[in-house]
Structure 1
Amino acid sequence: MIPFNEILFFALAALILVVSPGPNMIYLISRTLTQGRKAGLISLVGVICGFLFHIIMVSYGLTAILFAVPFAYTILKTLGVIYLLYLAFQAIKPNSKNIFETSSHLPLDKPGKLFAVGFLTNVLNPKVAVFYLSFFPQFIKPVYGSVLAQSLQLGFTQIIVSFGINFIIVLSAAKVAAFFSGKPTWLKIQKWFMASVLTGLAIKMAFSKAK
């Protein structure tokens, strides 16, 4: 099993990534603003089930890749660095949207459709798979035991972090959106802080070595 201190660092990285702009966050906030907290929570359950799908697929895939291809770690690390730098650029590029700058003009959907769209939004989001494939290997070490078990451990840690943050955001979406819309300076601070942290993670990943 992965040591507790490394799990904490991974949880911190997952915390930063979960509040970066993306279709899951935009969908959840939009649904909450349009149909209320209940609709947002139903959509969140669908998104979390989408994470479970990715975790199962990636965990078994990582087990095969890391044992079959010796230089897979370097390839995945490179993808991870590029991915993090891409997110950093997305955060500060001209006319970029804040995660709370979402449309509130959506049709009203029933619970089944809310769940299904939340699930598909996550399953069909290639960024999630890229994150798992490129970021997990930085924390997985053969000396810690089964690669599959470590992948699942990281996956469920990410789910807990993602669910917790998204749950809070769904419950307070209207208030937070109003706060940011009225304080443009905070929007700029949030974007540059996000970009700085993501760049820092990319640099750390670039100089990390397989053990």
Structure 2
Amino acid sequence: MFDTQQVLMFMLAGVLLNLTPGPDVLYIVNQSLRGGVQRGLVAAWGITAGCFVHVAAAAWGLGAVLATSADAFNLVKWIGATYLLWMGGRLLWRTSQAGADGDQAQVPALIGHSDLHGRGPASKEVTGLWAVFFGAFATNALNPKVALFFLAFVPQFIPAHAPDPAWSFVLLGCLFNLNSWLVCMGWAVAASWLARRGQWLQRGMRHLDRLTGLLFLGFGLKLALTDAPTR
């Protein structure tokens, strides 16, 4: 059903797109730097799970609704923008509190509490990992621009003679998400490797969190100012 060369081009384009830094990559890198590779990998799983929401929504026609209905797009847009702004503001507030207390070592991660190596009671660690997962999931699933991306990008690679375009979309979407998951895992491992070998990075973690908070505020504002697509 699919041409081999076309599929390879789709995979290459997907990898290059996933290498581009954005809110998803920022979330994974922050978690991996702050809590170790385990949290970064859990964040990667959460981001990938959010991508599957967009694939399923597009296959069921919900993505098309976002592309044609300004009200539906704006609803999801404001939910996603509010979430990103909340995360950015929350991180900035906590880093300022930690700075006021003079306790840099206790600066919390983006979602949940942990020290640099993710130590703590097993039950709290599991709860923290779930918080990381759902935070990553929400970062992706609540972004309507991701849904529009799938609608604009994937159909270009569906053959005109495909017997079932919806299932072709699902297959390509799953392939794209597999690539995305591998790239996200790579970001998590690379960030953790850098944290273990960069003492300067560990000492400047509070400043990194402050920068992360500002970037999330920027992403939230950018999303809030995004206009609904015209028909």
TM range (shorter): 0.5 to 0.7
Deviation of 1:128 after TM superposition, in Å, equals: 1.4
Runs (5+) with no aligned partner, structure 1: 66-71, 73-102, 182-211
Letter in 2 for 1:164: L
Q: Which residue of 1 aligns with 2:141?
A: 123
Cα distance, 1:163 vs. partner? 0.8
User: How far has the Cα of 1:3 moved from its partner?
Assistant: 1.8
Q: Measure the CA separation in 2 of the matches of 1:16 and 1:115.
A: 24
Partner in structure 2 of residue 46 of structure 1 = 46
1:33: Cα distance to partner? 0.3
Shift of 1:132: 0.3
Segments of structure 2 that go 5 or more residues without pairing to the other structure are 69-94, 96-106, 113-127, 201-231
In the alignment of these two chains, the number of paired residues is 145
Structure 1 position 63, deviation (Å): 10
Counterpart contact for 1:59–1:151, Cα < 8 Å: yes
Bigger radius of gyration? 2
CA drift at 1:174: 4.0
Identity %: 29
Cα gap change, 1:127 to 1:63, in 2 (>3 Å): closer
Corresponding residue for residue 144 of structure 1: 162
Q: Equivalent residue of 2:61, what SS?
A: helix
Shift in Å, 1:60: 2.4
Q: Are the equivalent residues in 1 in contact too, given 2:54–2:63 (CA < 8 A)?
A: no
Distance 1:64 1:113, change over 3 A: closer
Runs of 4+ aligned structure 1 residues displaced above 3 Å come to 62-65, 174-179
Whole-angstrom distance in 1 between the partners of 2:2 and 2:9: 11
Check conservation: 2:63, 2:151, Cα contact below 8 A.
Answer: no
* Secondary structure of residue in 1 paired with 2:155: helix
Mapping 1:16-165, distance limit 5 Å: 16-61=16-61, 106-107=108-109, 109=112, 110-165=128-183
Contact 2:39 2:132 in 1 (8 A): yes
**Corresponding residue for residue 167 of structure 1:** 185
Amino acid paired to 2:52: L
Cα distance, 1:176–1:4 mapped onto 2, change above 3 Å:
farther
Q: Secondary structure at the match of 1:144?
A: coil
